[in-house]
Structure 1
């Protein structure tokens, strides 16, 4: 099992690193003036569009077929399309945008498949530690990789760095282990929309999942988006230094690292409530930007937000893998990624004009209230207490026909 987990961890980490690295590397291309800021926005937008299209489709495919095969093809698609982004840099934005959309399809396809594959490879009593280890790798990557990428940029061109992410995608495709899931026989497979609707019905069987997903989506679409837009402005205008921006982002990642380490061992008595309290901690980030506090409070608030988000993420993923019917796990996980990741760009698109129209203070105030209130409302759903639906055993019957 340890060998299988090592392969799963390596593949998942490679896909996460490739996903994170591309926007950063293309940002270096903007600094080098080989790509304009507008062109960068177009390329990243098409990648997001590909992700959103692929996630629900991949959820169905990963429940119809081997999850390992879906990961394989998703990684190969992203890996083979990535060099075309490098080829189009400084020459053809349409080529870059098209290739980025294909990369987004590979990125979106692997997410629900990796989630379902984790449940196959890792025993239930070890999944929380496994999920914590995987999220820990992502956080370490985001903390260390910017400096490492900047150093690599000294000796390698930006197109070469982009091609390096293709190598990561190929690793994500080839390294993960096989799982134990047996797909539905071809003779009884149904149409895509029927399968997707079946996944929706499975999600509805778990009120804690719908409540938690609603809270997570609200926090990401408001608090995450608002702080992403406002933190640079506050750092510049209120504190007259970029150090608050750098300190806040670093503190968030460090807090998330600590959260991942804590939740790998901690088993709170009411796991669902503890996770939702962690999610609600994100409200301290917009609150710190709303108030004229010392910069140290802003940095501390971001550390608490990072800590809380991992105290939510790891139990959330673990509960989904435990509670959802194995044959529908990828479809339910695709809903998670579709709403939580998908509404982040929508939130950013809405927040910036709202700040321009109403000002930062009322927008931050609304986002703060939403970040605190949405998890609290989700906690009122009875099954949210433990992220588990209590099932009453059926009465015995003589005839099962």
Structure 2
């Protein structure tokens, strides 16, 4: 399993200036490669490297391996753009967003992240320093720090590239760690997890993680952003820049806490975790204008990813099941009808009378479907009949 570890660099002013110059040079080179490749219709790594490798080394002062990484970064950008277009994330081909994305070369910010491999970045784990290539020469003894568990994972499992990142004058290295997956155990049952907006997650056990506080926090940030944008002064723009990302980090922390608790319960009780397959839900549903912002900021996908990788690390089985009618189907008699859910919070079966919170009922239905899927996938194979 691939995980990432983020550590904070503690460079001296001289080292910070060299790192900044390096990022600027690499991203200028990336812009040049992307523009030439777009003009000539060359977007693959081999074609770009064959065409521009020598030029970007001489023109932008890059060494051999950083030049290769720049070309790879541009090729990856083209690959990601093509994947987004194919998946429909840029809208229809006639949409303005699609034409704007496809009709121009990718652009890279002056301080966009730059990947480094082991040839141009080495780690001294015991001394907590790194040696990194810069346009001013090899910079040795750059100190770093981080959380204890992150440093331990870095020392034991780091493998592959590391990205140099600058955020508001602070420097970070994001390292890739290759952690072996533990063996998945045979579950005695499943915990069904229903994800939503009013309730971020509701399990089949009846545990409810409400999203009311997160929604209030988002609305408060939206009001503050609108007020500062309306002022428009230089100090207001500085405050906006300082507040950037705070709301997203808070939502990420909430999802980490929820997923960690659900996985720990599943591991302790020997059960698996089942969620609804909600990929592409934004393209399937039609909402009123006032609901679109809420759905766009709904962190259900991130919660699912957190549950998945934490379950893999713990060896807990993880399944995605069909989400159709989970909140309208009665888990006792199987009757499915829209009238079974008279409002958002209540479920009441029109046939057998089963009633309860709708999100809890949906979680139970997700659990029941996971039982059926697991039994079908792991059913014993019968011996072939003799001829």
Q: Which structure exhibits the higher relative contact order, with contacts defined as CA atoms closer than 8 Å and separated by 6 or more residues?
A: 1
Q: Which has the higher strand share?
A: 2
Compute the TM-score of the two structures, normalised by the length of structure 2.
0.28
Q: Which has the higher helix share?
A: 1
Compute the TM-score of the two structures, normalised by the length of structure 1.
0.27
Bigger Rg, which one: 2
